[in-house]
Amino acid sequence: MQTVDWYLNRLKQMSLGEISYRVRQTVVGHAQAKRTSVKTEVPLFNVTPARLNWLTAPVQVDTALYSQAADRVAAGRIPVFAVDDAALGPKPRWNKDVRLDVEAPLTFGKTLDYRDPRLIGDIKYLWEPNRHLELVTLAQAYRLTVSEKYLHALREKLESWLDQCPHLLGPNWASSLELGIRLINWAAVWQLVGGVESRLFADAPGGAFRDRWLESIYRHAQFVSGYRSLYSSANNHLIGEMTGVFVAGCVWPLCKDMLNWRGQSYDILVQEALRQTCTDGVNREQAVAYQHFVLDFMLLGASVGEAADIKFPQRYWLRIEKMLEYIASLMDVAGNVPMIGDADDGYVVRLSQERDFCPFRSQLATGAVLFERQDFKAKAGHLDDKTKWLLGERAAAYHGIRAPAEQATVRRAFPEGGYYILGTDFDTEDEIRLVVDAGPLGYQSIAAHGHADALAITLSVSGREFLIDPGTYAYHTNERWRNYFRGTAAHNTVRVDNGDQSVSGGNFMWIRHAQAHCEAWLPGDEMDVFRGSHDGYTRLRDPVVHRREIRLDKVRRRIEINDTLMCKRAHIIERPWHFGEHCTVRETVNGFSATSAGVTIAIKHADAGVTALRFSGDVERPAGWVSRRYDIKTPTTTLVWLKEISGETTLRTVIDCAQQQPAVVSDNPANSKQWERV
């Protein structure tokens, strides 16, 4: 439930045009709420929708994996975030949070406060099964085995959903994005089971079920078209919503309305894909997980459009290619990608049941085929099942992509997005890959999915993640943990006077943004140099500007980080260093060492009067955590170097990546272990 302060903060982030729009939408919503019992008519449908082939059953997949997964889905057992084996049953209770066992009321969806955990539980746990990704698994298993038990399970689940989620009522009619994603997955199911000619609709009851499903599809497209995420909310939600409506209009051109909505959604999708993505390929939400999420919407929309003979402009495809280049540049030699910004484990579709499936590598495999890019192929590592389902016979071209005469160089500067990559020996066993963030906080006035991570770094050496972004962990619930994981203390940057660089106004809203920028980028054969600064702490009574210089000596394999705090008075300065959970961190004679899978780095400060603090799984502070999956956190090691300064001061950190074994003083992992440095 939102507080008065939240509403005031939210209003402050809106333009007058947005306020006027939201007032109108609220009035319309309340009027609709009074009429939900009145059955409105739908147009007469053309019940022979176009049969599109935008998904193809691959010849070379492990059918048993899909059958086994589908059997679990049919029995109502699926993973939902931290609940690895949620027991939904054959006919799930679709309006229930599967973790907290809270059943949401069937009141008017658009006025339902889905953020209130007392009323809804954790809305993420409710919405996730309702995206119907698992129904696609049933349809895939049917396509591969032609076993009608999967059709029976599909119909059972869809009919139970239609029974429990009437038009406009309940939490499944609250978010247009959720409806858009459901439309995409319904479209995949429809095609995989054979479309209008499917045995799913063969008898009279099947025909009645088909008509009922088509009516809900129409209502979904109608709802999303009427409740788009606009103004300061026009982020990945709008792209997802328009992709859903566009896909629906291609797969089910049922009537004039659907065709009109298809045309509108196509125009908005192209416009927003270009607007929300920098020309260098960085998604403006400044969150790597949303880079993947938006990229999937863009790829799926274009794939369905191509099957319907609707072409997307070249600039749209070029932006997709640039987005893939950014992912490839972030990815280290072992396939690790830094967890920059928000992440909620969101998928648009789940087409692969491979146990080693990696969404980023999958997109690179798809991109390798679409753009004939050997560098994407090298990063992908193999041709994954999702790419096979999506590209059909074209996927075979993956194996024929050859390396060019000259090896492509790694893109290392993304100036519009604000990311720079220092490193050497890229994509080899000796690789050093350091990513520094000098980009905006996030997108639009609320920067919903950005973290207070200006000038933060991540560091991978030889494919081992040493300095990490600890992730996200929480969204709507667990406000304390939400604030920690998105705050400055959870990033490898500098924190001043126990405050965040940017000022939060709510779980998905920042009301004052730190402005970061790159002052110098000097890559070279023997040395890379980055200099940048941000103004987040100039709001303090004694303003502080943080300037960070990073120098990578490639010959000595040494990183020097100089943090200059430009101020006049006294301040408490923290330098947190978050290590990957697989690292063993020890105190040494000169500082600390971290070892991961046989590779060791050394890290030390070069300043007098520093207090070194060490945390692992500390709940009170909090510190010493990493979250690789939504709602799951794991203890790791965080070092914090604490120092009180007065006036302009430069603090120096040295990281040695020469893989030597320093003399160990202590490897005591106790929480909040403290050492003094003089």
Question: What does the DSSP assignment read for 568-612?
Answer: SSEEEEEEEEEBPTT-EEEEESSSEEEEETTEEEEEEE--TTPEE
Determine phi and psi for 506, rounding to 5 degrees.
160, 175
DSSP state of 194: T
Q: Regarding beta strands 516-522 and 527-534, do their DSSP bridges make them parallel or antiparallel, or are they unpaired?
A: antiparallel
The answer to whether the CB of 455 falls within 8 A of the CB of 534 is: yes
Longest CA span, the chain? 84
Show Cβ contacts of residue 612 under 8 Å, excluding neighbours closer than 6 positions: 592, 605, 639, 640, 641, 642, 674, 675, 676, 677
Closest of 417, 370, 348, 354 to residue 188, by C-alpha: 348
Return the amino acid letter for 416.
Answer: E
The answer to whether the CB of 500 falls within 8 A of the CB of 540 is: no
CA distances 553 to 478, 523, 598, 627, 655, Å, are 42, 11, 22, 31, 10
Residue 637 to residue 470: CA distance in whole angstroms: 11
What's the pLDDT score for residue 36?
A: 60
Q: Token pair of 427, please?
A: 């994509």
For 197, the 3-state DSSP assignment is helix
DSSP state of 409: P
Residue 600 to residue 657: CA distance in whole angstroms: 7
What's the pLDDT score for residue 45?
A: 82
For 548, the 3-state DSSP assignment is strand
Residue corresponding to tokens 């409806």: 179
Q: Is 406 exposed, middle or buried (0-12, 13-18, 19+ CB in 10 A)?
A: exposed
Determine phi and psi for 522, rounding to 5 degrees.
-130, 80
What's the pLDDT score for residue 25?
A: 79
What's the pLDDT score for residue 647?
A: 98
The CATH number fitting domain 413-676, selected from 3.40.50.720, 1.10.3720.10, 2.70.98.70, 2.60.120.10:
2.70.98.70
Question: What is the separation of C-alpha 108 from the centre of its chain, rounded to a whole number of angstroms?
Answer: 29
Determine phi and psi for 119, rounding to 5 degrees.
-90, -35
Q: How many CB atoms lie within 10 A of CB 515?
A: 14
Whether the CA torsion 54, 57, 62, 66 is positive or negative: it is: positive
Q: What is the pTM of this model?
A: 0.95
Residue 325 to residue 371: CA distance in whole angstroms: 11
What's the pLDDT score for residue 507?
A: 94
The answer to whether the CB of 675 falls within 8 A of the CB of 587 is: yes
The answer to whether the CB of 419 falls within 8 A of the CB of 325 is: no
Question: What does the DSSP assignment read for 96-154?
Answer: EETTTTEEPP-SBGGG--TT-HHHHS-HHHHHHHHT-HHHHHHHHHHHHH--HHHHHHH
Residue 211 to residue 548: CA distance in whole angstroms: 62
Question: What is the separation of C-alpha 165 from the centre of its chain, rounded to a whole number of angstroms?
Answer: 27
DSSP state of 672: T
What's the pLDDT score for residue 561?
A: 99
Return the amino acid letter for 54.
Answer: W
Q: What does the radius of gyration of the chain's CA atoms come to, in whole angstroms?
A: 26
CA distances 407 to 330, 370, 422, Å, are 18, 19, 19
Residue corresponding to tokens 């024929």: 400
Residue 161 to residue 138: CA distance in whole angstroms: 15
What's the pLDDT score for residue 10?
A: 83
User: What is the per-residue burial (b if ≥16 Cβ within 10 Å, else e) of 123-132?
Assistant: bbbbbbbbbb
pLDDT per residue as tens digits for the range 266-297: 999 999 999 999 999 999 999 999 999 999 99
Q: Token pair of 497, please?
A: 């006077």
DSSP state of 312: P
Q: Could you list the mean pLDDT of each consecutive 10-residue stretch along the chain, which spans 678 residues?
A: 77 83 77 64 76 91 98 98 95 96 96 93 97 99 98 98 98 98 98 96 96 98 96 94 98 96 99 98 99 99 97 99 99 99 97 98 99 97 98 97 79 98 97 99 97 99 99 95 99 99 96 98 98 99 99 99 99 99 96 98 96 98 98 99 98 90 53 36
Q: Token pair of 101, please?
A: 């066992």
Residue 405 to residue 83: CA distance in whole angstroms: 49
What residue spans define the domains of the chain?
Answer: 1-230, 413-676
Show Cβ contacts of residue 207 under 8 Å, excluding neighbours closer than 6 positions: 201
